[in-house]
Amino acid sequence: MVSSYRKPKLPSSILRAGEVALIGAGPGDPELLTLKALNLLQQADVVLYDYLVSDEIMELVPESTILVCVGKRAGHHSVPQEKTNQLLVEFAQSGHKVARIKGGDPFVFGRGGEELQVLAAAGIQFQVIPGITAAAGATAYAGIPLTHRDYAQSALFVTGHLKPDADDMDWSTLARGNQTLVIYMGLMKSDYIQQQLLAHGRSNAVPVAIIERGTQRSQKVLRGQLSNLPGLAQQAESPALIVVGEVVSLADELSWFEREHDEVQPNQRVASQRA
């Protein structure tokens, strides 16, 4: 006897008036957006978004939704964080259903915790919808496993927004072998990052990769060694991740996404042009 298959019914989350949903958009590929994120995003009547949220994901927002760009991008004016906080509070207090969507995961170098502290202080209800952080998504699409029994027993995620005169990073830990180091927002500091890793014992021959626009159809992967990291960085544009570790060498064998999509052009619609 063959039993009939019944399609399971997924629970449906509700975004209430006066509430804020802090949503992680993932690294760019719209199919990596979670079901809950999509559900709440389409319920919102106001969406505050960053530049790192891909145009393909913004295409999923209903046409009637108010879009407010509050993102940051190198070389472009951005809304100050204090203004973003103010907008979140004002829209919620006005009774709107508010979605605050950020690239990657809002709690991984996304200042999501800071924004929620402001909402909590104002007595505004909120919920958090995690997203796939860029370090996990971009490396997977580049064929670079974050951990591997033969190469890396741990993975470290750090931000590249470093000030040499106020650097409190533990470079001795970051330069250890048998681990994968993933650096967010590190292109502008690639010289300094290279110098510190070499000074603290990392080999200049360790494989490195820069993954630009990871998981998107326009993804670009530059690979080399720590010795030529600054040169690779000059060929890349933000948003990009720097990956340092022996696992990078596995991309020769495991790379799949670029071969599959190298003739596909990215969607050119710019969601930020909407009112």
Check pLDDT > 90 for residue 84: yes
From the candidate CATH numbers 3.10.150.10, 3.60.10.10, 3.30.950.10, 3.10.580.10, the one assigned to the domain spanning 135-259: 3.30.950.10
Confidence of residue 270 (pLDDT cuts 50, 70, 90): very low
* pLDDT computed for residue 267 by the predictor: 42
* pLDDT computed for residue 274 by the predictor: 39
Which residue blocks in 11-80 are alpha helix, DSSP H? 35-43, 55-58
Look up the pTM and report it: 0.88
Strands (DSSP E) found in 25-87: 46-49, 66-69
Q: Nearest-CA neighbor of 83 among 96, 93, 70, 74? A: 70
* pLDDT computed for residue 266 by the predictor: 45
| CB of 241 closer than 8 Å to CB of 214 | yes
Greater model confidence, 256 or 273: 256
3-state helix, strand, coil in the chain (%, to 5): 35, 20, 45
Greater model confidence, 262 or 201: 201
* pLDDT computed for residue 275 by the predictor: 33
* pLDDT computed for residue 6 by the predictor: 66
Q: Residues 183-200: what's their mean pLDDT?
A: 97
Token pair of 149 as six digits: 């029994």
Lowest mean pLDDT among 123-132, 133-142, 155-164, 193-202: 155-164
> What are the catalytic residues?
50, 72
How far is residue 97's CA from residue 40's CA, in Å, rounded to a whole number? 9
pLDDT tens digits for 110-132?
999 999 999 999 999 999 999 99
Fold type of domain 20-132? Cobalt-precorrin-4 Transmethylase; domain 1 (3.40.1010)
| CB of 108 closer than 8 Å to CB of 133 | yes
Q: Residues 204-214: what's their mean pLDDT?
A: 98
Confidence of residue 272 (pLDDT cuts 50, 70, 90): very low
Domain boundaries along the sequence of the chain: 20-132, 135-259
3-state secondary structure of 159: strand
Which residue blocks in 175-238 are alpha helix, DSSP H? 190-199, 229-234
How far is residue 54's CA from residue 120's CA, in Å, rounded to a whole number? 28
How far is residue 84's CA from residue 82's CA, in Å, rounded to a whole number? 5
Amino acid at residue number 115 = E
